[in-house]
Amino acid sequence: MLTLIIAESSLEVVPKEILEHPQIQGYVKKFGKNSEFVLLDKSYHYEAMNKLKWKEKRGRPDIVHFTLLEALGSPLNLEELLQTYVHTINNQVIHVNPKTRLPRNYNRFVGLMEQLFQKSKVPLEKQPLLILKKSSLKTLIEKIKPSTTIALTRLGKPSTPTKTAQKLGKHKNPVVLIGGFPRGHFTTETLKLSNEQVCIDPSGLDAWITASRILSSYEEAINLPEKRFSTIKKT
Amino acid sequence: MLTLIIAESSLEVVPKEILEHPQIQGYVKKFGKNSEFVLLDKSYHYEAMNKLKWKEKRGRPDIVHFTLLEALGSPLNLEELLQTYVHTINNQVIHVNPKTRLPRNYNRFVGLMEQLFQKSKVPLEKQPLLILKKSSLKTLIEKIKPSTTIALTRLGKPSTPTKTAQKLGKHKNPVVLIGGFPRGHFTTETLKLSNEQVCIDPSGLDAWITASRILSSYEEAINLPEKRFSTIKKT
């Protein structure tokens, strides 16, 4: 079982300090949102975000959306061999049930996240598929007790996706960390939580590309494509 | 050079026959759109689409959005070894300049596509990055003159992404076809244009997952990860 953590993700509700900004208020009014739980989105709140600390790393829910779609739709996840978590820049953690069928439409995804930040779980009826908790990345990793944790970062040692995945494949319970933010690097605190830092490409790849490269290579490393053909009838 | 064609994609403007439907008219009014060039979107036009032919295969611009992001952000494309086209269900073809930086925000992507359907190219100033033309898939493939065309489809012969990519890697100018629609299969006409039909997973994978699996394996097949480390300095 591989665990993927999308770490320090730019996913959060609009911070109180900029809630009164005209750009936020206009957005709330236009889309009929509950202003306490509006998701921060650089596409619409660019000016309002001007005074925010670490603003380059914030307000990009689309990164979590794409990366989750990439993870949840992977053959590895379909085979129930992947557990995915989203850790946010504000130290909240979303436990993602592997069976979650995420909205493909971005606006519906944003609505779902706003509900999650408000209610801490969705859906409210039946078994929740997404659960939000206050938790540091350290606490999350301590709970998972991984046999190894590899952080994918441009600051790491160069290695191909295949070699990195083969290393992960030798472990029983490995964790891989991917940055869920658009620019910059993991904090020192995050880097300290990993056993290894690996760079799989000399350019900065988008989070969802990093995810697909490592998941695809991991599937190959554990011979998943062949296994699926031998065990699953075509649907 | 690999050519990726996202074929029979569910990307089109609202057909005239349903333009007067109250759901479309409400949408046009709410978002202040030009009603002649509104992109058909199942998320918002579900009821209006009820009477449309092949409605299961239509109104999903998000599929093209995700799959293009997956293709354009790939190391293969960054290395200028990938050419991507979008062929639509209505026989239009978008030539995508590999240097295009697509909007990450879905609503902005929709706006861009609406502009493209209206003006046939974007941006209007300078060198256009996206060009839309009336063209069948047959005409497009005849222009590319590929050394082989492989269609990825659940109707094909089972083969792993790695084996399929190794086969593509032996060709000088191969084309790979991926379905840009949510359900159903390629038409017989499309299948006839391919030299081989290959199924890379027994379940129906999302188009962007299919794209990432084949691109990732193709990069591996041509040793691209190693090459990039030896030629590119970290940015």
| pLDDT tens digits, one per residue of B176-227 | 999 999 988 999 999 999 999 999 999 989 999 999 999 999 999 999 999 9
Q: What percent of chain B has pLDDT over 90?
A: 91
Q: Do the chains contact at A208 and B107, CB–CB below 8 Å?
A: no
CA distance B218 to B212: 10
Q: Do the chains contact at A104 and B235, CB–CB below 8 Å?
A: no
Q: Taking 60 as the threshold, does the pLDDT of residue A234 lie above it?
A: no
Q: Do the chains contact at A206 and B69, CB–CB below 8 Å?
A: yes
Per-residue burial over A127-146, b = 16 or more CB atoms within 10 Å of its CB, e = otherwise: ebbbebeebebeebbeebeb
**Chain B residues within an 8 Å CB radius of A158:** 229
Of B201, B234, B235, the CB nearest to A228: B201
Q: Do the chains contact at B203 and A108, CB–CB below 8 Å?
A: no
Of B200, B202, B234, the CB nearest to A154: B234
pLDDT band at residue A139, thresholds of 50, 70 and 90?
A: very high
Of A63, A208, A228, the CB nearest to B202: A228
pLDDT at residue number B235: 54
Distances (CA, A) of B158 to A203, A229, B44: 34, 7, 36
Residue A196: beta bridge partners? A150
Closest-approach residue (CA) in chain A for B106: A106
Query: How many CB pairs (< 8 A) connect A and B?
Result: 131
Q: What is the ipTM of this complex?
A: 0.95
pLDDT band at residue A235, thresholds of 50, 70 and 90?
A: low
Closest-approach residue (CA) in chain A for B155: A234
Per-residue burial over A152-184, b = 16 or more CB atoms within 10 Å of its CB, e = otherwise: bbbebebbbbbbbbbbbbeeeebbbbbbbbbee
Q: Do the chains contact at A209 and B205, CB–CB below 8 Å?
A: no
Rg (C-alpha) for chain A, rounded Å, is 18
pTM, full prediction = 0.96
CA distance A203 to B72: 13
Q: Do the chains contact at B203 and A78, CB–CB below 8 Å?
A: yes
Of A62, A73, A220, the CB nearest to B105: A62
pLDDT at residue number A35: 82
> Which among B103, B38, B102, B105 is positioned nearest to A109, based on CA atoms?
B105
Q: Taking 90 as the threshold, does the pLDDT of residue A233 lie above it?
A: no
Of A106, A203, A232, the CB nearest to B203: A232
**Chain A residues within an 8 Å CB radius of B105:** 41, 43, 62, 106
Query: pLDDT tens-digit profile of B1-22?
Result: 999 999 999 999 999 999 999 9
Is A153 or B235 the better-scoring residue by pLDDT? A153
